[in-house]
Amino acid sequence: MFPLQRNRRLRQSQAVRALVREHSLSPDDFIVPLFIVEGTQVKEEIPSMPDYYRMSLDLLKVEVKSLWDMGLKSVLLFVKVPDLLKDNKGTEALNPKGLMQLAVQTVKETCPEMLVMTDVALDPYSSYGHDGIVENGQIINDATKEILAQMALSHAQAGADFVAPSDMMDGRVEHIRELLEAEGFHHTGIMSYSAKYASSFYGPFRDALDSAPGFGDKKTYQMDFHNRKEALTETQLDIEEGADIVMVKPGIAYLDIIRDLANEIETPIAAYQVSGEYAMLKAAAAKGWVDYDAIVYEQLIAFKRAGASLIASYFAKDAVRLINNLS
């Protein structure tokens, strides 16, 4: 009761605020998404993601070294596949000398301790731009699951530490886990995109990889954003099927989902702050309408407060710069 309780006492100086602060950020919290293309000396800025690049394998080496030196120790790899290598079944995804497999090897050769995670979904390889096989305009769940498991195995054989299925097919985590176990990859982890919503925030990413769906949308497999409870069911199933880390995606508009999961499950939760979120902040900052650094930091803390223990974010390098300036 006032004046016995004056909440401002704990806010009156930098020192006391720091003392009672509940959440903080560290470079350890981040996964850095990287976009890989064929070629040499290629570093192309993604138009809808200013200051973010697609890079060839030679420049990936440079990037990975610099990330490691900054204290960023996990990367999540995505590849842009030339159109002539795309087909309905994503055949190229299983090529042991494909771009993803080479990218994994490149990172591991350059920086063996870097944690390498790979995206597992057909969309960058699919002539239809869908995450699964298409038949009569439908995305076929069970046949897709088979290919995804083979794809995950291929990434594990190339040296991936974690595979990250982002496709939202039913039962794919179990299928991947069983194949990895059967082939002796007991230590290869699965970070499952468990609660991945059909979202318009992925637009710039689809520009980056030229992976927009050729027809329709992804609403028959990604979650309906009107729903909240379903996220828990999806996530609990993935944990039962063998997921080591679960993910909520997109980020800032889905903090309620992160908190729901954090209240219910013990498995580490990753938040993915996606391309559209990055693009919006960059655009507003370019206009001079918002304070970029302050808003990046505030949003990243919001993920921690919501209950995420790790964050995949295109702002990871900015985050390290901001963390270093604080200390």
Q: Please name the residue ranges forming H helices in the chain.
A: 14-20, 57-70, 99-110, 141-158, 172-182, 203-209, 229-240, 255-264, 275-286, 292-306, 316-326
Closest separation between CB of residue 131 and ligand PBG, Å?
Answer: 5
Q: Which residues, 6 or more positions from 84, have their beta carbon under 8 angstroms from its beta carbon?
A: none
Does 48 interact with ligand PBG (rule: CB under 6 A)? no
Among 56, 275, 299, 313, binds ligand PBG (CB under 6 A): 275
Q: State the Cα torsion 33-92-184-186 to the nearest 10°.
A: 20
Closest separation between CB of residue 179 and ligand PBG, Å?
Answer: 19
DSSP for 141-177 reads HHHHHHHHHHHHHHHHHHT-SEEEE-S--TTHHHHHH
Among 35, 128, 197, 205, binds ligand PBG (CB under 6 A): 205
Per the structure block, which two tokens stand in for 268?
Answer: 């580490």
The stretch among 94-102, 149-157, 202-210, 232-240 that binds ligand PBG (CB under 6 A) is 202-210
| Catalytic pick among 86, 196, 282, 317 | 196
Burial of 18 (0-12, 13-18, 19+ CB in 10 A): exposed
Does 202 interact with ligand PBG (rule: CB under 6 A)? yes
| Catalytic pick among 89, 145, 218, 249 | 249
Closest separation between CB of residue 205 and ligand PBG, Å?
Answer: 3
Does 274 interact with ligand PBG (rule: CB under 6 A)? yes
Name which of 166 and 192 has its Cβ closer to ligand PBG: 166
Q: Residue 196 catalytic?
A: yes
Q: Residue 89 catalytic?
A: no
Q: Strand 49-55 vs strand 43-46: parallel, antiparallel, or unpaired?
A: antiparallel
Amino acid at 287: K
Number of residues binding to ligand PBG, judged by CB under 6 A: 12
Does 123 interact with ligand PBG (rule: CB under 6 A)? yes
CA distance 197 to 111: 33
Among 74, 118, 166, 267, binds ligand PBG (CB under 6 A): 166
| Residues 208-247, mask of contacts with ligand PBG (x by CB under 6 A) | ----------x-----------------------------
Residues that bind ligand PBG (CB under 6 A): 119, 121, 123, 131, 166-167, 202, 205-206, 218, 274-275
Catalytic residues: 196, 249
